[in-house]
Chain A
Amino acid sequence: MSFTIDHVNKSFAGLEVIKDLFMQVEENQIICILGPSGAGKTTLLNIISGVIPADRGKISGFADKNISYLFQEHRLLPWKTVEDNIDFVLKDKISLKERKRIIAHYLDMVDLTAFSAYYPSQLSGGMKQRVALARAFAYPSEILLMDEPFKGLDYHLKRTLREAFIKLWQADKRSVFFVTHDIEEALLMGQEIYVLTDRPATVKGKVPNPIPYYERTRNNSALQRIENEIHQLLSSRV
């Protein structure tokens, strides 16, 4: 099973946002899409999720797949408790008994079991984003789209969330499309890093990152070589 984004183009009111973008990826990988802010990365995710159609080109492998989302904002309903927030996206799809088990499992994975009856207003920003993470994995999906979900958080929080995410993903693999403008984040999370150009977005190059997650530390020389490669790609002209 693989996913193809086949020479996709998209314009808004004459402004070219995505141009001739091609990607072909295997399933159950974490694909990082690295590009400058405002380069059309969110538009690409919207095309993948089917929210907006491509002008030209086509995507394949995504049809009739269930998709989970992780947004920049936690997007939790303030009047629902942590467990009811997760339940909100599971209802009508899974039986009550099964839902209870799933919610308990994923809250345990993000260390929030003790907070299941709390309202979002009673949680810290990082905890709320962990609930959103649990919701994304609890939802029965094959694909997970992440739109800079750790943007604007402090260094330690980002690290905690990254680790929570990798832990969840390793236990329960999905095809992840992770959009970011942060090179470090792409290096630490991606198994394949697609470097995009500025608008109109097209693929400048693809950098594989086969280093296992537990070896991805600052002083790992192999990771530094990949980082250099990304920097070269970013500064190169197409």
Chain B
Amino acid sequence: METSSIKTILVTAASILVMVITWHLLALMLGHEYILPTPAETARQMIILVSSAGFWPVVLATIGRGLLGFIISLGLGVILGLVAGFSKAAYWLLQPWVTVVRSTPVMSVIILAIIWFESNLVPVVVTLLILFPIIYGNVVAGIMNINKELLEMARMYKVKTWRIVTELYLPSILPFLLAGASTAMGIAWKVIIAAEILSQPQLGIGTNLMIAKIDFATAQVFAWTVVAIVISFVFEYLIRLIETRLNTWS
């Protein structure tokens, strides 16, 4: 265990090193900072960025929108997923709606949201529409996948219905829900930044990406991109942490 985890860390570190070196060599070969800034230049821009007064409000605005969209889709996905999982009628009633939402291209959703909502709200609405079907689908799958033999056992031993729901259904759904939440979190930051680029709220990573692009400040584009990657990584890590915390039994 110990040696293998050290090995993993070493391999990961080596991989990242190769990535940075390749990036650096490519940047040198191209020789145009406008097309591809070097890692060192990107790092310099990042330091300027992080130490500037405007940095945290921008990052927090984007994280806030992402979390808001995520939490609303989580709540809605769980509630409607439970309803659809337990009632066939509700499932077929919701199916066309979910299919439409799921199949709509992200860009169509963003453009329509820009037409209908004010720019601060657009990223939240878009995230909600993209994430909701993922969470919903996983909750429904979790209920469909419940172990029928355990259910039969609980009924035969006359366990109360609310206990069956809380102690049998919920733990069975949980891995599906967490897998859905993890996928949704990964997509959330990509979607939210795309929506910010198009809707241009006053504060937002997407807004700043677009400004940097207009200014031909490619190093800044890279810097903001690294910030987005770090945010995505941190939240993915948090969800994994929750996952291992909750799953102590397998």
**A residues whose Cβ falls under 8 Å from a Cβ of B:** 49, 51, 66-69, 71, 73, 75, 77-81, 88-89, 91-93, 119-121, 139
Contacts and interface: CB of A to CB of B under 8 A. Distances in A.
Contact of A79 (B158, B163, B171): B171
Interface residues of B, number: 17
B156 A88 contact: no
Interface in B219-233: none
Interface in B146-168: 149-150, 152-154, 156-160, 163, 167-168
Given A68-B157, A73-B149, A119-B249, 17 more contacts: A66-B158, A69-B157, A71-B149, A75-B152, A75-B153, A77-B167, A77-B171, A78-B249, A78-B250, A79-B171, A88-B157, A91-B163, A92-B159, A92-B160, A93-B158, A119-B248, A121-B250
A121 B249 contact: yes
Nearest to B157: A89
A80 B171 CA distance: 10
Contacts of B150: 75, 77
Contact of B149 (A75, A79, A88, A139): A75
Contacts of B163: 88, 91-92
Interface string B236-250: 000000000000111
Interface in B184-221: none
Mostly, the A contact residues are: loop
Contacts of A75: 149-150, 152-153
A77 B250 contact: no
Contacts of A81: 249
Given A77-B168, A79-B171, A71 B153 contact: yes
A51 B249 contact: no
A139 B153 CA distance: 12
A105 to B, nearest CB: 18
Listed residue (A49, A69, A88) with the most chain B CB atoms within 10 angstroms of its CB:
A88
Nearest to A119: B249
Contacts of B167: 77, 80, 88
A76 to B, nearest CB: 8
Contacts of B157: 68-69, 88-89, 139
A66 B158 CA distance: 9
Given A88-B159, A89-B159, A92-B160, A79 B249 contact: yes
Given A73-B149, A75-B149, A77-B168, A51 B250 contact: no
Interface string B103-128: 00000000000000000000000000
